[in-house]
Amino acid sequence: MSIKFCSQCGSTMEQKIPEDDDHIRAVCGLCDHVHYENPKMVVGTIPVSGNKILMCRRNIEPRKGKWTLPAGYLENRESVQDGAVRETLEETRARVKLLGPYRMFNILFVDQIYLMFRAELLTNDFGPTSESTEVCLFSEDEIPWDEIAFEVIRQTLVDFFRDRGSNNGQGANNGAFPFDIKDLIFKPPKENS
Ligand SMILES: [Zn+2]
């Protein structure tokens, strides 16, 4: 949703295509200030410990009560690597070491870009936080597949376990988990809530 009032002069914004532009923008009717809106970046991790991965049950909307991987919005002046480590700490209390970028998703219907890293859990000190009611290690067959919060997380997990399986479980080799960029181009009905 676009802003209603100009951040420069407080006048009402209009939706129009500025001169020499090709997108509809919020433009101030008085001072012509243009408010640019760009996709938000979400960064997160697949924290791995042995044959298990760390997941958290969301304590915040949307999809409260569903399971996810630790991920959240990148802050200004923060690298994607630092953001992924920070979000993992905030949502699971776990400290991780990044192993490499694994999946990027263009989620155009919500103007988000996801970047998920593979990561190694550095200690077994993890647990609930204000953002997660439960934090658990799951093997592939223990994952609550029917209660995954977001399609982007489900696809990341499916790809991860497929890549790990194709490497006969010898998952520490970076080359066995090739980086890929994927598109999510529609909003699945189950994410309406
Ligand atoms: Zn203005």
**pLDDT of 125 higher than 70:** yes
Least confident residue range of 141-145, 163-167, 179-183? 163-167
CA of 112 to the centre of ligand 1 (A): 27
pLDDT at 171: 46
More confident residue, 104 or 193: 104
Place of tokens 């009611």: 133
- CATH number of the domain enclosing 25: 2.20.70.10
Q: pLDDT over 90 for what percent of the chain?
A: 87
Say what percent of the chain tops pLDDT 70. Answer: 91
pTM: 0.88
Say if residues 49 and 42 touch (Cβ distance below 8 Å).
no
Distance 108 CA to ligand 1 centre (A): 29
Distance CA 4, CA 10 (A): 9
**Residues in the chain, total:** 193
Q: How far apart are CA 89 and CA 96, in angstroms?
A: 8
Distance 78 CA to ligand 1 centre (A): 30
| pLDDT tier at 167, thresholds 50, 70, 90 | low
N- to C-terminal Cα separation, the chain: 18
Total domain count, the chain: 2
Of the candidates 56, 46, 12, the one whose C-alpha atom is nearest the C-alpha of residue 164 is 46
Task: Report how far ligand 1's centroid is from the alpha carbon of 179 (Å).
Answer: 43
Distances (CA, A) of 8 to 26, 29, 37, 121: 13, 12, 16, 46
Q: Judge if 51 and 4 occupy the same domain.
A: no
The mean of the pLDDT values for the chain is: 92
CA of 34 to the centre of ligand 1 (A): 8
Q: Give a yes or no: residue 193 inside a domain.
A: no
CA of 187 to the centre of ligand 1 (A): 34
The rounded distance, in Å, linking the Cα atoms of 42 and 103 is: 12
Count other Cβ atoms within 10 Å, centred on residue 57. Answer: 19
Write out pLDDT tens, residues 30-70: 999 999 999 999 999 999 999 999 999 999 999 999 999 99
- Contact between residue 47 and residue 88 where contact means Cβ atoms under 8 Å apart: yes
pLDDT at 191: 56
Residues near ion ligand 1 (CB < 5 Å) are 6, 8-9, 11, 28, 30-31, 33
Cα(22) to centroid of ligand 1, in Å?
21
Helix (H, G, I), strand (E, B) or coil at 184: strand
Distance from the alpha carbon of residue 1 to the mean position of ligand 1, in angstroms: 18
Which residues form the domain of 27?
1-37
Statement: residue 107 has pLDDT above 60: yes
Has residue 126 got a pLDDT over 70? yes
* Phi, psi torsion values for 146, nearest 5 degrees: -80, -5
Q: 55 with 123, same domain?
A: yes
- 192 assigned to some structural domain: no
Residues 13 and 82 in one domain: no
Q: Residue 2: its pLDDT value, please?
A: 77
Q: What is the mean pLDDT of residues 161-172?
A: 70
| Prior bond of 188 cis (ω within 30°) | no
